[in-house]
């Protein structure tokens, strides 16, 4: 599938294994994996960083396969899920960085175009997350108050 804001296909990225079989070398039980996820979340890591930490440090290749639940569903059960979804916060941080860049480089038109594309992605995501009720219906995106969302 083609990317929305470029003429490229965007085929690179990590792939999940085809076999959905529990690996034999895993020594963690589902309850222990849930405890690790909550511990890492309380340390301030995002859901994707938790998955990467579990993969690299603990040797857990797939949380959903071993625990029966995804990282975000575990966080939702424990009521430690952040208010805004992770991809929204990442896009807002990106927009904030580009705005900061544009303050010092006012004539950088490609950066201005990047800011426009990023903000349109944010608005599309807000529309989607309101539809599935992940964020409140009265949520307003204000580009001037970006720092408030990213902290």
Domain-located, residue 65: yes
The pLDDT score that the predictor gives to residue 15 is 78
pLDDT tens per residue across span 95-134: 999 999 999 999 999 999 999 999 999 999 999 999 999 9
Domain count, the chain: 2
CATH number of the structural domain spanning residue 111: 1.10.287.10
pLDDT for 2 beyond 70 = no
Q: How far apart are CA 20 and CA 40, in angstroms?
A: 25
User: Alpha helix locations (H) across 3-85?
Assistant: 30-42, 47-57, 63-67, 71-77
The answer to whether the pTM exceeds 0.85 is no
User: Alpha helix locations (H) across 2-136?
Assistant: 30-42, 47-57, 63-67, 71-77, 86-104, 109-131
Residues 73 and 98 in one domain: no
The pLDDT score that the predictor gives to residue 113 is 96
pLDDT for 148 beyond 70 = yes
The pair of structure tokens assigned to 93 is 């941080």
Cα-based angle 116, 93, 60 (whole degrees, multiple of 5) = 125
Residues 90 and 132 in one domain: yes
Full residue range of the structural domain in which residue 145 is found? 86-150
Domain-located, residue 141: yes
Q: Tell me how crowded residue 126 is: count the other CB atoms within 10 A of its CB.
A: 19
């Amino acid at each position: 599938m083609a990317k929305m804001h470029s003429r490229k296909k965007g085929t690179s990225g990590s792939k999940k294994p085809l076999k959905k079989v529990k690996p034999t070398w895993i020594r963690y039980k589902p309850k222990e994996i849930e405890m690790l996820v909550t511990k890492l979340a309380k340390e301030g890591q995002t859901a994707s960083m938790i998955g990467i930490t579990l993969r690299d440090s603990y040797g857990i290749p797939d949380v959903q396969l071993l625990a029966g639940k995804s990282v975000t569903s575990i966080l939702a059960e424990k009521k430690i899920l952040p208010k805004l979804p992770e991809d929204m916060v990442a896009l807002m941080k990106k927009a904030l960085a580009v705005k900061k860049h544009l303050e010092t480089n006012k004539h950088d038109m490609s950066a201005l175009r990047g800011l426009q594309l990023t903000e349109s992605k944010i608005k599309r995501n807000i529309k989607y997350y309101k539809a599935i009720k992940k964020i409140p219906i009265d949520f307003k995106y204000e580009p001037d108050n970006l720092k408030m969302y990213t902290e």
